[in-house]
Amino acid sequence: MTTTLIHSARLITDGVETPDAWVRFADGVVVATGTGASWSDADTVIDATALAGDGAILTPGFVDIHAHGGAGAAFDDGTDAIRTARAMHRSHGTTRSVLSLVTAPVDDLARRVAEIADLMQTDADILGSHLEGPFLEPERKGAHEPTLLRHPVAEDVQRLLDAGRGTVRQVTLAPELPGGLEAIRRIVAAGAAAAVGHTSADAAQAREAFEAGATILTHAFNAMPGIHHRAPGPVLTAAADHRVVLEGIADNVHLDPYVIKLLFDSAPGRVALVTDAMAAAGSADGKYDLGAVKVTVTDGIARTDETGSIAGSTLTQDVALQRAVAAGVPLIEAVRALTETPARAIGVGDRLGRLAEGYLGDAVILSADFTVAHVQTGSGLD
């Protein structure tokens, strides 16, 4: 048995901050927590204050349920690219990630989700796949290739779910498309989360989608109607429904800081801070491909060459934490939105997202200014 002990940290988990805390791990699982000097020796002992300075913070590992790549590599491009991008995001605190795939032909998507299912046998940091497309509203396509968009007919939906062999975690679709509500029911029946996104749905249509079983709103406010005082749209409908988690991209590009704070205030405990990161995250400005779409990144902002639409982000989750707190979100709630809430949204909240006995030993040590000083990933999901 291999043991690790982290001590002298401000532990933030379960919506609580505990000063001068310690956490003990054995074989990649949390086995005990406490405070002060009550800890016993371990194979590896990490003094969080010595490592990260006064005010050192210990949190669960970050969970990103919506990212497309990083370090110059895209999750659509196979095993080597996935590992390259994941290594970069891991260094920024993201210990586990769902791999988001952009719109492509159904044959290609089926192959890619099958490859991700295979990779999960060896790479425990991968939680599964997220199909962001092709079942999207063309008028809200964002950075998706419009010629590849299609209605969510049962045969296509089932084929993609089957190809993932139970590892498709999330499917984003526009529920107002023909077959949209039936697709939501089919996705949920397969054990995946159905997400409303890239949609022109009004409040009534969004409500129908949530009643049908959709439980995530993909990158809230983006690629959907905004809020109007006589037309609340999908964002307020999702915020009012306690079954729904709202994704937020806290990069100060997709969402203004005031809107980041509004999101947390409107849906307390139900915001998941995601990156929506594309290949340029952790890499240089320049020309990139996002699926079939050409993208130019300037000053860290990715936009499509054809329309100038925002094309994912160059965000990492540690920066999302910094920007959420700067926007006025309490630190405890910002951490929850990076850990417990996204884990729960995709059905793994019973093993990930907390530093509590029996949970996997994913942990991040940060300095008081939220700079990552140490990252560890625990054992794999059963």
Q: Are both 122 and 217 inside the same structural domain?
A: yes
pTM beyond 0.95? yes
pLDDT recorded at residue 381: 85
Strand residue runs (E) in 145-219: 168-173, 193-196, 216-217
Q: Classify residue 381: in a domain, yes or no.
A: no
pLDDT recorded at residue 382: 74
pLDDT recorded at residue 226: 95
Task: State the DSSP code for 54.
Answer: T
Q: Is the pLDDT of residue 129 over 90?
A: yes
Q: Which domain, by its residues, includes 39?
A: 3-59+355-376
Q: Are both 217 and 73 inside the same structural domain?
A: yes
Phi, psi (deg, nearest 5) at residue 122: -120, -25
Q: Are both 41 and 187 inside the same structural domain?
A: no
Q: Classify residue 350: in a domain, yes or no.
A: no
Q: Is the pLDDT of residue 212 over 80?
A: yes
pLDDT recorded at residue 128: 98
pLDDT tens across 226-258, in order? Answer: 999 999 999 999 999 999 999 999 999 999 999
For the chain, percent of residues with pLDDT exceeding 90: 95
Q: Are both 180 and 209 inside the same structural domain?
A: yes
Phi, psi (deg, nearest 5) at residue 366: -125, 150
Q: Are both 190 and 269 inside the same structural domain?
A: yes
Q: Report the 3 state secondary structure along 299-327.
A: CCEEEECCCCCECCECCCHHHHHHHHHHC
The CATH number that applies at residue 32 is 2.30.40.10
Q: Are both 254 and 193 inside the same structural domain?
A: yes
Q: Are both 43 and 101 inside the same structural domain?
A: no
Separation of alpha carbons 281 and 316, rounded Å: 7
The CATH number that applies at residue 236 is 3.20.20.140
Q: Are both 313 and 361 inside the same structural domain?
A: no
Give me the residues paired with residue 11 across strands: 18, 58
Q: Are both 232 and 361 inside the same structural domain?
A: no
Give the residue numbers marked as catalytic.
276
Q: Classify residue 120: in a domain, yes or no.
A: yes
Q: Classify residue 105: in a domain, yes or no.
A: yes
Q: Are both 198 and 279 inside the same structural domain?
A: yes
Q: Is the pLDDT of residue 1 over 90?
A: no
Kindly state the average pLDDT of the residues 11-28.
97
Q: Is the pLDDT of residue 260 over 90?
A: yes
Q: Is the pLDDT of residue 362 over 80?
A: yes
Separation of alpha carbons 260 and 248, rounded Å: 7
pLDDT recorded at residue 369: 96
pLDDT recorded at residue 281: 96
pLDDT recorded at residue 330: 98
pLDDT recorded at residue 135: 98
Give me the residues paired with residue 196 across strands: 173, 217
Q: Is the pLDDT of residue 196 over 80?
A: yes
Q: What is the mean pLDDT of the chain?
A: 97
Confidence of residue 112 (pLDDT cuts 50, 70, 90): very high
